[in-house]
Structure 1
Amino acid sequence: MTERTGFFSSVVSWLRAGYPDGVPPKDCLPLIAVLRHRLTDVELDEIVATLVESGELEIDRSRIGEVVGEVSRQPPSDEDVARVSARLAAGGWPLAPDADVPAAAGPS
């Protein structure tokens, strides 16, 4: 397993631990906002696509790019981001900026 594959698998595992029943629609945009602070655009697109394909994130596949871009145009509320952050932290996602999750996946 490459470092990139391991990183990708870890992120998906953290998301599944935080949202064992899938991501509810109200958490979609805040989740993407939280992930954008830690992932590259390519990583974010790949992870969102993985969750959509598995049925864990309810977004029409053709709208993934649009939904990700929507976060830039209309950021979620601080309350929504805090709720999502708490769920991710409960699943083991390291939210602190200096935590051991690189901003990018490293070598591909």
Structure 2
Amino acid sequence: MSETTSTSFLSSVLGWLRSGYPDNVPPKDYFPLLALLKKSLTEDEAKAVIAQLAESHVVPVNPVDIEAAIAKVSDEPPSDDDVRQVAARLAAAGWPLTGFHGSNN
């Protein structure tokens, strides 16, 4: 994510928070808000994860392989959405997957 994109994203999040909580965020709402704002992989991060999996010649790919690759690329533990995002891209490209719900493998 570029610095301009990061700044724009942060500004939009702060604007959303200020309009939704004009008198500041109540303490009980901090954790739900943080959960909503949890990071997702950017396009570049997803590409980097897939490239890393391709370089390691992991076939078939399972959720643990994807989680490890995401953590290495993003320096953060992956969310379920991150894993699903990468798995969907791999499946669309014809990569065999194992251990995914709804997978034929």
- TM-score, normalisation: structure 1: 0.40
- TM-score, normalisation: structure 2: 0.41
Relative contact order higher in (CA < 8 Å, ≥ 6 apart) = 1
